[in-house]
Amino acid sequence: MKNALITGSTRGIGEQIALELEKSGYRVFGCARGQHDRKNFLSIDLSEPNNAKVLYLKAKEALGHIDILVNNAGMYDYCPVEKTDFNTMQKMINLNFTSAFLLCSYVAQDMKQNMWGRIVNIGSISGAVGEANASLYSATKSALSGLTKSLALELAQYNITINQINPGWVDTNLSESALNEEEKKETTEIIPQRRFIEPIEIAKLCKYLVSQDAKGLTGQSINLCAGLSCGA
């Protein structure tokens, strides 16, 4: 039985990934900032860099070792560059990138010893093609892509793969709160498939990427975006 650590696991994309892996027989340890009554869970704020080590140790204590890491926790801010404040910048960098980097560094030790591991980073289409008025968010997700490629080279000889999924607009509570009905309709019109991605689609892809069937796939950023990255 494989053990998985998933960040941001109580709603949206992270929740679906956790449910999908559990349904497939994986043991899952999750985390989020809010409280939750599920087993193998830690309420923690990963925008505080020291908390990445706390999470890793708690997950390892509960599971014994970690075979799979899914870096899903993140935050989004729609703001012109000149109005982005320093505190928001530090918090987003810490949560979207630094926590992922640190968790990769911690679990790599276990994975190297076991000569097997899977890491999946949840990026964004904004990090692949850019997004006006979301430059900070785009930059953090683009940084994840660089990390994914570099670690794929570094860890390949240990039978460890690392890949990234870049979702486009996803049908979650976050998108519902960010867009009113008119804005959602306008956004749908610019997506080639004229629809939002469902969280289960991302979860299914993640399940494949952590499987043995995907052993030859590493260092890749996959745009799961209903065609949004292809242009108009």
In the chain, the amino acid numbered 49 is: P
| Angstrom distance (rounded) from CA 107 to CA 154 | 14
CA quadruple 68, 34, 146, 170: dihedral sign? positive
Which two three-digit tokens encode residue 198?
């469902």
| Angstrom distance (rounded) from CA 66 to CA 63 | 7
Q: Where are the alpha helices (DSSP H) in the chain?
A: 12-23, 51-63, 86-93, 99-114, 125-129, 135-155, 173-178, 181-190, 199-209
| Angstrom distance (rounded) from CA 211 to CA 225 | 22
Element (H, E) at 165: strand 160-167
Q: Are 73 and 11 in contact (CB under 8 A)?
A: no
Which two three-digit tokens encode residue 52?
């990445």
Q: Is residue 137 annotated as a catalytic residue, yes or no? A: yes
Q: Which of 26, 56, 76, 137 is catalytic?
A: 137
| Angstrom distance (rounded) from CA 84 to CA 139 | 13
For residue 95, give the DSSP letter. Answer: I
- The residues assigned a catalytic role are 137
